[in-house]
Amino acid sequence: MCVLLTGASCATENAVTIETLLKEMTSRDTVARFPQPAYTNKQASSWDRKSSQGPGNRGWYANNDRSHFLDYEKRPDGRVEHVMMDAQGPGAVVRMWIVSGGNELLDGTLRAYLDGAKEPVIEKTFRDWFNGNLVGEPFAMRLAPGSPRHQQGSNLYLPIPYAKSCKITFEVPDGRKLKPGGAWPKDCLFYNINYRTYKSGATSSGINVESFSLRALERARGALEQAGRTLMNAPDNDGIDRVNHELAGVLRAGTKKSITIRANTAKGGSLRKLGFQLRANDLPQALRSTVLEIRFDGERTVWAPVGDFFGTGYQVRKFKSWYSSVDENGLLRAHWVMPFQRAAAVVVHNLGDQAVELVEAEVGYGGWQWDDRSMYFGSNWHQFSDIKTRPVRDLNYVTLKGRGVYIGDTLTLFDHHKGWWGEGDERIYVDDEPFPSHLGTGTEDYYGYAHCLNQSFSSPFVVQPDGTGNLSAGFTVNSRYRLLDGIPFKASLRLDMELSHWQDTKMDYAPTTFWYGRPGIKSNIEPDIENAMRPVLLE
């Protein structure tokens, strides 16, 4: 089905289809402009409903985030379908994450009902949805950490657009009803579903949404396969006209080096690739105390340690994602598209007490057509050092004021005690909403895995280069990068992450956030010089 929002036809350039969503998913340029057509991004999840009274109330930190559903629908034949999501469109499901406490529920049935239809457009087992057997989609649409074994957690990024509404349900194999906060492990289902809702009348020429169907999917087969290849083999020099290497060389303790990249046309320019390789006697400390700062047209929006900015923290760990990568030689690369109108100033600070050699320091840049939707790229870092894990509480990743899109984050931490640190849920408030439109089921669920998985994995959008500190004292780094599941905001965005640890101990806990914003956007996170200079923990 295709619904017309303001008077166009399904063949117009403003249509939302499986193909257009796949194209958007594989475009680094698209996310650097405020979305058109406009949409909101929300999340349906199995969060513990004891938290429903909001911050500061009893139950806010409740942790039985499993088997909570919107409703239970009893079918004429006696079957019970648990309603996970029920959204009025037009919209699109853009990410699903799900895990069970045990293997029994993997044979349960997931169904997607679109546009009020009585029959589902998709009816498959949990295994088939997430094993690549949903409709034969390539591996890249499923993404790491892996197949739906209950120990791992499963991700699906296949876009499912709908014209009017979308309901997703789950049926247990034996037909029983799962109780909220169900008994471990056989009655436990955890899930997060991110979905867009498009705004009617978003453009003067109108938009329409073509609902997902097997026919539409078959038509999109080539686009789907191409998207899979692109995501798994991220382009390295897309849109780059020139590369500057002037930042390379030795950076003495307490000094800085900078370059200015000017727009090569009156219409603007863009940074498109950053590549750094550091050499130092104490490389972990250099990765933390060497700081990247970027100003676009005079506005500082980036301030983060080099290691955290590139997603590896202060240990070199090989991985590859859509936006960042680290190779076996320790070459760090990032491919965020960073537009500007006139000039970008890139500064590298050495806040440490040792010399650091920038063996490689490349800044690739190209053109940009600046317009009233173009946004600056931003990244903020700060650390909660020696933070006590009791009492359980919310830690602020970032609060942004202005107009923009939240596009991801990296969390680098050191756990001081054997035991799991990541029970805490994300709470994301958009445009000053009193209750978060994104309330999750655990920090590791937010980062795409489950149940304290300590194995390393990497994929286009979720990465764990090192999980050593997940079940023992040690270092962990997690990243989640967003594209279709980016979160637009018109006035403000606040992301808090609950700190909930199995043990009464202490941690070093450092979030790095990534976002885009229109000129004048403000972040509450100031340069955290003291913690960037602080000795990092290795044992």
pLDDT tens series, the chain, 539 aa = 554 443 333 444 578 999 999 999 999 999 999 999 999 999 999 999 999 988 888 899 999 999 999 999 998 888 899 999 999 989 999 999 999 988 889 899 999 999 999 999 999 998 888 876 665 554 446 654 544 444 478 888 999 999 999 999 999 998 899 999 999 888 999 999 999 999 865 444 457 999 999 899 989 989 988 998 899 888 899 999 999 999 999 999 999 999 999 998 889 999 999 999 999 999 999 999 999 999 999 999 999 999 999 999 999 999 999 999 999 899 999 999 999 999 999 999 999 999 999 999 999 999 999 999 999 999 999 999 999 999 999 999 999 999 999 999 999 999 999 999 999 999 999 999 999 999 999 999 999 999 899 999 888 999 999 999 999 999 999 999 999 999 999 999 999 999 999 999 999 999 999 999 999 999 999 999 999 999 999 98
Angle made by CA atoms 374, 27, 398, in degrees to the nearest 5? 60
Predicted confidence at residue 150, as pLDDT, reads: 40
Cβ neighbours around 253 below 10 Å, total:
12
Predicted confidence at residue 9, as pLDDT, reads: 33
8 Å CB contact between 375 and 404 = yes
**What are the C-alpha distances in Å from 102 to residues 120, 133, 172, 279, 451?**
26, 21, 12, 46, 11
CA separation for the pair 399, 406 (Å, rounded): 11
Q: Are residues 140 and 225 in the same domain?
A: yes
**H-helix or E-strand spanning residue 195:** strand 189-198
Q: Are residues 375 and 277 in the same domain?
A: yes
Domain boundary among 232, 258, 275: 232
8 Å CB contact between 289 and 351 = yes
Q: Is 281 exposed, middle or buried (0-12, 13-18, 19+ CB in 10 A)?
A: exposed
Q: Coil, strand or helix: which one is 469?
A: helix
**H-helix or E-strand spanning residue 153:** none
DSSP for residue 51 = G
CA separation for the pair 398, 407 (Å, rounded): 12
Distance from CA of residue 512 to its chain's centroid?
12
CA separation for the pair 379, 346 (Å, rounded): 13
Q: Are residues 429 and 459 in the same domain?
A: yes
CA separation for the pair 468, 539 (Å, rounded): 11
454 domain residue, yes or no: yes
8 Å CB contact between 377 and 337 = yes
Query: How many distinct structural domains can be found in the chain?
Result: 2
CA separation for the pair 130, 107 (Å, rounded): 12
266: left (phi over 0), alpha (psi -120 to 50) or beta: alpha
Picking from 520, 452, 438, 424, the residue whose alpha carbon sits closest to that of residue 482 is 438
Domain boundary among 232, 251, 276: 232
Q: Are residues 222 and 280 in the same domain?
A: no
Q: Are residues 209 and 283 in the same domain?
A: no
Angle made by CA atoms 184, 186, 188, in degrees to the nearest 5? 65
Predicted confidence at residue 204, as pLDDT, reads: 45
| CATH code where residue 178 lies | 2.60.120.1390
Q: Are residues 257 and 210 in the same domain?
A: no
8 Å CB contact between 178 and 187 = yes
Q: Positive or negative, the Cα torsion across 108, 110, 116, 119?
A: negative
Cβ neighbours around 341 below 10 Å, total:
17
Q: Are residues 247 and 226 in the same domain?
A: no
397 domain residue, yes or no: yes
Q: Are residues 228 and 337 in the same domain?
A: no
Name residue, tokens 């194995």: 455
Domain boundary among 199, 232, 265: 232
Structure tokens at 231: 């995501």
Structure tokens at 511: 């979030």
Q: Are residues 81 and 181 in the same domain?
A: yes
CA separation for the pair 418, 408 (Å, rounded): 28
Structure tokens at 351: 């806040």
Q: Are residues 197 and 65 in the same domain?
A: yes
The answer to whether the peptide bond before residue 37 is cis (omega within 30 degrees of 0) is yes
The answer to whether the peptide bond before residue 527 is cis (omega within 30 degrees of 0) is no
Cβ neighbours around 383 below 10 Å, total:
23
**What are the C-alpha distances in Å from 362 to residues 270, 352, 378, 503, 535?**
14, 22, 19, 43, 27
539 domain residue, yes or no: no
Which residues lie across from 195 on neighbouring strands? 42, 93
The set of residues, in sequence order, having a beta carbon less than 8 Å from that of 75 and lying 6+ positions away, is 81
8 Å CB contact between 494 and 396 = yes
Structure tokens at 165: 């509404």
538 domain residue, yes or no: no
Domain enclosing residue 475, as ranges:
242-533
Q: Are residues 13 and 39 in the same domain?
A: yes
Q: Are residues 187 and 247 in the same domain?
A: no
**H-helix or E-strand spanning residue 268:** none
Structure tokens at 188: 């436990």
8 Å CB contact between 520 and 376 = no
Predicted confidence at residue 58, as pLDDT, reads: 84
Angle made by CA atoms 291, 295, 297, in degrees to the nearest 5? 175
336 domain residue, yes or no: yes
**What are the C-alpha distances in Å from 162 to residues 6, 89, 93, 316, 382?**
16, 7, 8, 42, 39
Structure tokens at 86: 């029920």
The set of residues, in sequence order, having a beta carbon less than 8 Å from that of 71 and lying 6+ positions away, is 82, 83, 86
157 domain residue, yes or no: yes
DSSP for residue 246 = T
Amino acid identity, residue 322?
A: W
237 domain residue, yes or no: no
55 domain residue, yes or no: yes
Predicted confidence at residue 203, as pLDDT, reads: 45
Amino acid identity, residue 414?
A: F
Instruction: Indicate yes or no: pTM above 0.85.
Output: yes
